[in-house]
A and B are shown apart, each in its own frame.
Chain A
Amino acid sequence: MGLEAVGDLALHIILRKLGAEESARAACVSKQLRASASEDPLWSHFCAQDLHLHQPLDPHGNLAPSFKASYGLWRESFSMYPWSLVKRAKRCWAKITNWLSLHFPEAHSSLNKGASEADIQHLETQLKVKLPLPTRILYRFHDGQDLHDSLLGLIGGYSFYNHLVNVSLLPLHQIVLETKHVMPKLGFSATPDYIVVASSSSTYSQKLFFLNCTTGQLYVGTANLLPDAEMLPCVPNALLNSVHDHNGDQQQDGMLLWLEEHYRRLENGIIRLREQEAMRSISQFPEESPLCSTAVTNGVQVRCSSVFVPEFSNLQDNTQRHWVIRAYDVVVANVNGEAVIGKYPLLCPGEQEFVYESCTPLPSSSGSIEGSFMFVPGRLADPKGSRFRVPAARFPLQLPDYIF
């Protein structure tokens, strides 16, 4: 009495625990194991676990004849990459697209389907670079966003005065165009391996994200981008690992880490969707403590947080950093003067938060801010009580380790 007598349930549990690869190997052992390893419910589990597929789809989105067939097609289509990295990239995208389809479907539909190996090859030839492995795989799943509407950027942003920032991932063909357009202006003489991968345009200045194809680090341009090519790293350098190594299983580059962190923030509600004049976008202002403070006074709640604005920051001049400060639940007048953005909104209980965003340079790169707002019950023209002060609790200002 041996393995052949353990029963179907046991065999199924064994194979499930072994995983897809080992199950396939088990199928070469004997007829019985082959039969057990060929059952589609087993492969449906592997498709869900490894590829986040709940239907037997092939890499092009068409239905395959079975889950096992589907898994095989994916394996085949990505056979040139380390499978563990493929699974990780797939998981990253699956989580993001899932969140989008639930909360921000209009952005979800703007995501392009995956680029082909040929497309990637074309870009590499055009720009004379070799993409880091994780980025390559990420683009195999989705080739950036097709944006006609400037508020559907996957990364999102903020807006103050006339400066609207909404960052999206560029599709490959646009990467080529932007890179060719921007790189000559940067005065980069001997380092041709930067490519523009994400951006946002506004009236004041452009926010550009660069990928260093050799190291895999992601950078964002500061105020001194032109012509000094001044950039800030967007993910902690120490996390980057063997981005061109096919043989490891711990490869991670700036793009992958950036997207994974972005998803984590969306998932945990650290950043959320913001609705402004019936248009929705992802806001980069944190909405969870400790980065966002909350204080309630006399029934008025004030929430505040800050976001780092790299495109207005100046690394050379240590006295100038740009921070955008956001206070929810409005102001009639603030400490410095009356209604910084010139508004005197009327707040009624139960209505939507009033949000205002402002921007100010600050003398240091870390610290905190607090203040207060004056409220009047009733209306300015017809006050029903005396003015009262509503404090905005202190909220931190720190250079983040991930810059979006």
Chain B
Amino acid sequence: MSEGVMAVVKPEMKSYIWLQTADGSIQQVEEEVAMFCPMICREILQTGMGSSKNYAISLPQRVNPAVLGLILDYCRFHQVPGRSNKERKTFDEKFIRMDTKKLCELTSAADSLQLKPLVDLTSRALARIIEGKTPEEIRETFHLPDDLTEEEKLEPLRNITDDPRIRLLNRLYARKRKELKEREKLKNVEVEQECVDQRSVDDLLTFINGGNGDSKGIKTNKSKKKNRRRKDPTKDSSNNVNGNCNKESETLSSAFHDESRPSSSSNLQDCTIIDFDDGDVDDDLDPAMKEQLDREVEDFARRLNSDWPERMQEILSLGQERRLAPINMNGNGSARRYKSLDRR
């Protein structure tokens, strides 16, 4: 214990704290700057470490020298009491400008030093980076593992709007799901159980509102589709709101009747299925949307090793037939649609 460190600091005599990063290198930092970090502050007060080079405070592994420098810059600025809020804000805005990788490192380091204001600042910056990206883009930006199963990624979504693009993709996904289900039956039980377990959790995910004139809508379609598809297969034909559901459940029921989904049924009791063919929505896809749609479908299909031109043809022809079938909620509509599906 060196009580000297605890003595009152005379203005002309600055006190320094010694910090050691995981790589072994040691830095000397003004005391008031170092004390701004709660973790360091606690170390100094509780253990008395940091007063000299030999007793340098060991920093957590997540703090490397470069990022420590950044953190200390932050502390050095903010620990000065006289600064106005505007000054601090301006500093923060400039401070936060760095590449994504560095931002993550900084967040991680700030977290390990319990420097909450900095964690807050960097997290908000990260949120701004993530905002608006598709899951694929997020993975690319942050080099995250693509470790969800295809099944999990295909989780049906609650469809928020009657977006024709979504409808089209929904049909594609429906087919994919069917294939996967059939494939899974050949796999071991564990995978199936995992899916069933995940079901209740995933059921509630993804409420993407891509249809509100959101140009990013197409990117969100994937996740949206998933939830949407989810509902239809588990619905009994007796509980249908529109003929569409009838058709879907009939074509897919064979694939699903084995699985039990007790947890999800309660969610679906009083749900209102989006009518695929709500007359209010414009059925025509504009060229830009269609292009994006094509890309999306191609990308997805490629990943699942399917022959996309052929699939697109199928889907488009199915779409055509649907548009031709009049929209109504009674049995006639459903019968007609079922037939159109058959014709394929």
> Which residues of B133-167 have CB atoms within 8 Å of chain A's CB atoms?
134-135, 138-139, 142-148, 152-153, 155, 157-162
Do A20 and B123 contact each other (CB < 8 Å), given the known contacts A6-B111, A30-B144? no
What CA separation (Å) do A66 and B205 show in the bound complex? 12
Asked whether, in the complex, the Cβ of A18 is within 8 Å of the Cβ of B139, the reply is no
**Is A349 in the interface zone, CB < 8 Å from B?**
no
> Which residues of A1-43 have CB atoms within 8 Å of chain B's CB atoms?
1-7, 9-11, 13-15, 17-18, 20-22, 24-34, 37-38
**Is A236 in the interface zone, CB < 8 Å from B?**
no
Interface size on A, residues (CB 8 A): 52
Do A14 and B207 contact each other (CB < 8 Å), given the known contacts A3-B144, A75-B160? no
Which residue of chain A is the closest to B64 with respect to CB atoms?
A1
Among A28, A29, A30, A72, contact of B204 (Cβ-Cβ < 8 Å): A72
Task: Determine chain A's interface SS by DSSP, over half rule.
Answer: helix
**Is B211 in the interface zone, CB < 8 Å from A?**
yes
A-contact bits for B218-239, CB 8 A (1 contact / 0 none): 0010110010000000000000
Asked whether, in the complex, the Cβ of B119 is within 8 Å of the Cβ of A7, the reply is yes
Asked whether, in the complex, the Cβ of B158 is within 8 Å of the Cβ of A79, the reply is yes
Asked whether, in the complex, the Cβ of A37 is within 8 Å of the Cβ of B205, the reply is yes
Asked whether, in the complex, the Cβ of B204 is within 8 Å of the Cβ of A1, the reply is no
Asked whether, in the complex, the Cβ of A28 is within 8 Å of the Cβ of B203, the reply is no
Asked whether, in the complex, the Cβ of B130 is within 8 Å of the Cβ of A14, the reply is yes
Do A5 and B104 contact each other (CB < 8 Å), given the known contacts A30-B147, A77-B271, A249-B212? yes
**Is B120 in the interface zone, CB < 8 Å from A?**
yes
Do A69 and B204 contact each other (CB < 8 Å), given the known contacts A18-B130, A28-B153? yes
Q: List the A side residues contacting B153 at CB < 8 Å.
A: 28
What CA separation (Å) do A72 and B207 show in the bound complex? 7
Q: List the A side residues contacting B138 at CB < 8 Å.
A: 26, 29, 33
Q: List the A side residues contacting B128 at CB < 8 Å.
A: 17
Interface size on B, residues (CB 8 A): 63
> Which residues of A28-83 have CB atoms within 8 Å of chain B's CB atoms?
28-34, 37-38, 59-60, 66, 68-69, 71-73, 75-77, 79-80, 82-83
Do A21 and B208 contact each other (CB < 8 Å), given the known contacts A29-B135, A31-B148, A38-B201? yes
**Is B82 in the interface zone, CB < 8 Å from A?**
no
Asked whether, in the complex, the Cβ of A13 is within 8 Å of the Cβ of B147, the reply is no
**Is B192 in the interface zone, CB < 8 Å from A?**
no
Interface centre among A20, A27, A66 (most CB of B within 10 A): A27
Q: A28-B135, A30-B145, A246-B162 are in contact. List 6 more A-B contacts (CB 8 A).
A: A5-B104, A14-B126, A14-B127, A68-B201, A73-B267, A248-B212
A-contact bits for B18-36, CB 8 A (1 contact / 0 none): 0000000000000000000
Asked whether, in the complex, the Cβ of B203 is within 8 Å of the Cβ of A72, the reply is yes
What CA separation (Å) do A83 and B202 show in the bound complex? 20
Q: List the B side residues contacting A82 at CB < 8 Å.
A: 161, 209, 211-212
Asked whether, in the complex, the Cβ of A247 is within 8 Å of the Cβ of B213, the reply is yes
Asked whether, in the complex, the Cβ of A83 is within 8 Å of the Cβ of B104, the reply is no
**Is A98 in the interface zone, CB < 8 Å from B?**
no
**Is B62 in the interface zone, CB < 8 Å from A?**
yes
**Is B328 in the interface zone, CB < 8 Å from A?**
no
What CA separation (Å) do A59 and B212 show in the bound complex? 22
What are 9 A-B pairs at a CB distance below 8 A? A1-B104, A4-B144, A10-B107, A10-B123, A22-B131, A28-B223, A34-B152, A60-B270, A77-B271
Do A80 and B207 contact each other (CB < 8 Å), given the known contacts A10-B126, A31-B147? no
Asked whether, in the complex, the Cβ of B139 is within 8 Å of the Cβ of A30, the reply is yes
Q: What's the least CB distance linking B71 to chain A, in Å?
A: 14
**Is A228 in the interface zone, CB < 8 Å from B?**
no
Asked whether, in the complex, the Cβ of A76 is within 8 Å of the Cβ of B142, the reply is no
Which residue of chain A is the closest to B127 with respect to CB atoms?
A17
Q: List the A side residues contacting B101 at CB < 8 Å.
A: 1-2
Asked whether, in the complex, the Cβ of B143 is within 8 Å of the Cβ of A2, the reply is yes
Q: What's the least CB distance linking B112 to chain A, in Å?
A: 7
Q: List the A side residues contacting B205 at CB < 8 Å.
A: 24, 27-28, 37-38, 68, 72
Q: List the B side residues contacting A59 at CB < 8 Å.
A: 270
Q: What's the least CB distance linking B200 to chain A, in Å?
A: 8
Which residue of chain B is the closest to A31 with respect to CB atoms?
B147
What CA separation (Å) do A324 and B231 show in the bound complex? 57
Among B144, B148, B209, B267, contact of A21 (Cβ-Cβ < 8 Å): B209
Asked whether, in the complex, the Cβ of B267 is within 8 Å of the Cβ of A76, the reply is yes
What CA separation (Å) do A31 and B208 show in the bound complex? 19
Q: List the B side residues contacting A18 at CB < 8 Å.
A: 127, 130-131
What CA separation (Å) do A83 and B146 show in the bound complex? 30
**Is A84 in the interface zone, CB < 8 Å from B?**
yes
